[in-house]
Amino acid sequence: MVMANTGTSAAVVDIGGVPLGGNFPIRVQSMTDTPAHDVKATLAQCIRAFEAGADYMRIGIPDKAAVHALGQLKKGLKQSGFHQPLIADVHFSATLSLQAARIADKVRINPGNYTPRASGTICSGQQDRLKAQEIIRSRLKPLTGVCREYGTAIRIGTNAASLPQHVIASYGRGAEAMVEVTMEFLQALTDLGFYRIVVSLKASDPLTTIRAYRLMAERMKKEKLQFPMHTGVTEAGEGISGRVKSALGIILLLQDGIGATFRASLTDPPEAEIAFAKALRSNYRFARTPQSEASGMTYTGNNKDGLIARIVAECAPLLLGGKLSDFDLHTPGISDPRFPVAVAESLMQACGLKSTATEFVVCPGCARCNFNIREVIGELRKRLPEMPGRKIAVMGCAVNGPGEIAEANYGLLGTPAGSLNLYRGKRMVVSGLEPAEALEAMEEMIKRDLRKASTPRE
C-alpha cells in the first residue's frame, strides 16, 4: 500500500480515518443526506451509520450556517460517545473550506470548483494553464495554513463530471484529464509543504473510474508523490445495478491494492451503504478460475449484498479479461428468481459488454439536495420502460449535475429551491418543476420520443 512522503519521521499519522504508513485496514465511509442545518437529524443519521460500522462520515457544507451546524454535530457526537472523524465536503467556496477546516478532521475539495472557473476567470486553453496553476496555488495556500494549524487533512476529490475548463481544453473529459487535475492539486499542495493528503478520482462509469485510479497510481509512483487513495464509483444509483456498478469499480481496484478507504455511493440511506461497503470489503479477495461448464455458476447464501460482492469479485475479472463471455447465475438462497438475472445483466452492462436496461446515473443525494431523490428514482423506474443504450441522469445539485446530464439522453437536476429542471440531452426543456410535475413531464417526454422513434417514416 502507498506510503506518503510526510516530510516527518513519524511512522504513522492519522489523517482523518487514513493512517499513513504500515499495514492498516481498509476503511469505509458514507455521507449524510439530511439538511446540513438540521443538527438533530444529521446526528441521528451519523450515529446509525457509525453503529452500522462506518469508520468516518462526510457532511456536505453548502453555506456558513452549515459550518456552525458541523461544530454542533461534532460536539453532539462526542457527547454520545462517537469519536470517529468527520469530513467536510466543500464546493465553490474557498472561504467555507477555511472555516470547515477548523472543525472537521478532513476537508474534501473538488478541483473543478477550486479553479479559475470558480474565481470568475475563464481559463480554456493551454496558454492559460500556467495562470490556472498560479491561481490554484494562491487559493490553496491559506487552506494549507489552517489545516496545518488544526491538524486537518485535505482530500483532493476529483470528479469526472466537474473538471475544470483549462484541463478539459487540453485533455478532454476522461481518465487522463482526471489524473492531470489531481496531479496539479497534489503538486500545488506538496509545493506548499503540505502532506496530509488523500486523493480520489471518481466517475459514474466504473471502467473510467478504474482506469483513472490505475493511471493515478502509476503517475504518483513515477513522480514519487505517493498518497493514500479514497475510491468509489460516483452516482452509481440504487438497487442491484447501483450495487453492481459500485462493486465493480471498488473491488477491481482493491484487487490491485488500490484504496485505503472507499465509499460505495448508493442512493440509499448511509447505513445501507455501510452494510454494502462491508460486504465488498469481506469479499473482494475471492477469485475464480475460468469455468468450462456452460451450465452456469451457483452462489449459495441469502445475503444479497454479500452475493453481489462475491459474484463481482469472481466474475468481473474474467469478463473484462475476455475469459468469460456470458454466464448464467444461480442463487438458490434467494427466493426472487429475478435476482440472479438482474445481477448478471447489470454486471455485463457495467463491464460495457451488453446493454439490457436503461443506464441510470443517480447521485446519492447529500445536504445540497433539496428534493427526495430516492422517491424520484423509485417512481421513474416504475413508470418508464427499459431503454437499453439510453442514459438518464437524476442529480441533486449543480456540483456534478450539469456535467452528468450533458452526457445523458435525459436528465433531472435539482435546484437550491427544491424544484427540478428537466433536460433532453444538454438542452433544458422546462425549469422549476415540483418533483411530481417533473416525473409527469419526464415520463410524457420520453414516451412521446419513443412513440416518435417507433413510427415508420412515410
Q: Which three cell numbers stand for residue 74?
A: 461534532
Which is closer to ligand SF4, CB of 206 or CB of 364? Answer: 364
Which is closer to ligand SF4, CB of 144 or CB of 231? Answer: 231
Q: How far is the CB of 99 from ligand SF4 (least distance, A)?
A: 18
Q: How far is the CB of 51 from ligand SF4 (least distance, A)?
A: 23
Which is closer to ligand SF4, CB of 56 or CB of 195? Answer: 56
Which is closer to ligand SF4, CB of 334 or CB of 377? Answer: 377
Reading across the β-sheet that carries 359-362, which strands appear in turn?
359-362, 391-395, 410-414, 420-424, 427-433
The answer for residues whose C-beta is within 8 angstroms of residue 10's C-beta and 6 or more apart is: 21
Decide: residue 246, CB within 10 A, 0-12 exposed, 13-18 middle, 19+ buried: buried
Which is closer to ligand SF4, CB of 60 or CB of 76? Answer: 60
Alpha helices (runs of H) in 373-458, residue ranges in sequence order: 373-383, 401-406, 435-454
CA distances 194 to 33, 145, 155, 191, Å, are: 30, 9, 12, 7
Q: How far is the CB of 401 from ligand SF4 (least distance, A)?
A: 5
Question: Helices 239-255 & 338-350, crossing angle to 10 degrees?
Answer: 50
> Residues 175, 220: contact at Cβ < 8 Å?
no
CA distances 232 to 24, 264, 277, Å, are: 19, 6, 10
Q: How far is the CB of 90 from ligand SF4 (least distance, A)?
A: 10
Which is closer to ligand SF4, CB of 65 or CB of 130? Answer: 65
Q: Which three cell numbers stand for residue 216?
A: 493515478
Q: Closest residue to ligand SF4, Cβ-based? A: 396
Report which of 310, 108, 311 is spatially closest to residue 196, judged by C-alpha positions.
108
Q: How far is the CB of 174 from ligand SF4 (least distance, A)?
A: 20
Q: How far is the CB of 1 from ligand SF4 (least distance, A)?
A: 28
Strands (E), 245-400: 261-262, 297-298, 329-330, 359-362, 391-395
Which is closer to ligand SF4, CB of 161 or CB of 225? Answer: 161
* Phi, psi torsion values for 236, nearest 5 degrees: -70, -25
Q: How far is the CB of 31 from ligand SF4 (least distance, A)?
A: 7
Q: How far is the CB of 62 from ligand SF4 (least distance, A)?
A: 9
Which is closer to ligand SF4, CB of 70 or CB of 315? Answer: 70
Distance separating alpha carbons of residues 194 and 141, to the nearest angstrom: 9
- Indicate the helix (H) or strand (E) that contains 433: strand 427-433
Report which of 271, 258, 356 is spatially closest to residue 305, judged by C-alpha positions.
271
Which is closer to ligand SF4, CB of 226 or CB of 265? Answer: 265
Q: How far is the CB of 404 from ligand SF4 (least distance, A)?
A: 8
Decide: residue 415, CB within 10 A, 0-12 exposed, 13-18 middle, 19+ buried: middle
Which is closer to ligand SF4, CB of 195 or CB of 371? Answer: 371
Task: Give the residue carrying C-alpha cell 469530513.
Answer: 87
Q: How far is the CB of 367 from ligand SF4 (least distance, A)?
A: 7
Using CB under 6 A as the criterion, which residues of the chain lie in contact with ligand SF4 when the complex forms?
Answer: 60, 363-366, 368-369, 395-397, 399-401
End-to-end CA distance of the chain: 63
- Give just the sign of the alpha carbon dihedral 413, 116, 103, 49: positive
Q: How far is the CB of 117 from ligand SF4 (least distance, A)?
A: 16
Decide: residue 286, CB within 10 A, 0-12 exposed, 13-18 middle, 19+ buried: middle
Which is closer to ligand SF4, CB of 306 or CB of 396? Answer: 396
Q: Which three cell numbers stand for residue 225?
A: 508523490
Give the max Cα distance, the chain.
77
Which is closer to ligand SF4, CB of 99 or CB of 204? Answer: 204
Q: How far is the CB of 89 from ligand SF4 (least distance, A)?
A: 7
